[in-house]
Amino acid sequence: MNSQSIFFPAPLARRQVLCGLGALAAGLALPAWAQTLEAPDALIMRVGAEVMRQIKADPVLRNGDIDRIMVLVDGLLMPHVNFSRMTASAVGRFWRQATPEQRTRLQDEFKLLLVRTYSGALSRLTDQVLVLRPSRFTPQDAEVVVRTELRGRSEPIQIDYRLERTPQGWRVFDFNVMGIWLVDTYRNQFTTEINARGIDGLIASLTERNRAGAAAARS
């Protein structure tokens, strides 16, 4: 047996060693903070599972109390969302024309709309479990897509997340529910609204939609 066969007994072993060295080199090339981040799929599964656990364990939440679910989602999920980027992407080219005050109002109303939309879906939870679907990304990626499904007795619900790497951790900047990316959908709606009524008109429309949603939840 020669020295080569001692250290590399088979071609597969050679590939494994080389892959391991490559992964190590890639890791060393990342900033120190990037090497310690929680993986994006682990983040989504951890936070999503905790949201579902709390809803299923609380009869009030399980009965669809939207206001209570909104508090839960806002506290557990929304700290991991980049609302500035989501709002700017949804508003599109008009974001550059908005004043700082308009940007703040747009972000606040858009956040409330998204939280209410997401909470409304969670209010219908019964026996579903959160399942991670195959996702492709590498440690070097600055942006990734994490794919999940809610599975139960009814048809599975596809929910995907686009995330970006930041020094504070991975942050979601778009959601895909049943094949529809929310930012793209809202961008089309917002463009139509701004062309018709301007940025203030869009703010007024979002405010009214959120007010109507709150009234419907109380009735």
Residues 40-89: tens digit of each pLDDT: 999 999 999 998 888 888 888 877 777 888 888 888 988 999 999 999 99
Nearest to residue 194, comparing CAs of 106, 99, 94? 94
Q: What pLDDT, on a 0 to 100 scale, did the predictor assign at position 26?
A: 41
Least confident of 17-31, 58-72, 91-105, 182-196: 17-31
Q: Is residue 19 part of a domain?
A: no
How far apart are the C-alpha atoms of 175 and 162, rounded to whole Å? 6
Percent share of the chain, pLDDT over 70: 82
Give backbone dihedrals phi and psi of 39, rounded to 5 degrees, phi first.
Answer: -60, 145
Find the mean pLDDT for residues 119-123. Answer: 71
Buried b (16+ CB within 10 A) or exposed e, 42-81: ebbbebbeebbebbeeeeebeebbbebbbebbbeebbebb
- Which residues fall within 8 angstroms of residue 84, CB to CB, at 6 or more apart? 107
Residue 117 has pLDDT above 70, yes or no: yes
Residue type, 7: F
The tally of domains found in the chain comes to 1
H-state helical runs in the chain: 3-7, 11-29, 32-35, 40-57, 59-62, 66-76, 83-91, 100-122, 182-218
Tokens of 190: 């917002």
What gap in Å lies between CA 205 and CA 93, rounded to an integer?
Answer: 19
Q: Which domain holds residue 138?
A: 38-218
Q: Please identify which residue in the block is written with the tokens 């997401």.
A: 118
Q: Does the residue 23 lie in any domain?
A: no
Distance separating alpha carbons of residues 72 and 66, to the nearest angstrom? 10
Q: Within a domain: residue 48?
A: yes
Instruction: Indicate whether 16 belongs to any domain.
Output: no
Flag whether 17 is in a domain.
no
CATH of the domain at 137: 3.10.450.710
Q: Tell me whether residue 20 is in a domain.
A: no
The confidence score (pLDDT) of residue 7 equals: 33
Evaluate whether residue 132 is within a structural domain.
yes
Residue 1 lies in a domain: no
Confidence at residue 174, expressed as pLDDT on a 0 to 100 scale? 95
Q: pTM for this structure?
A: 0.76
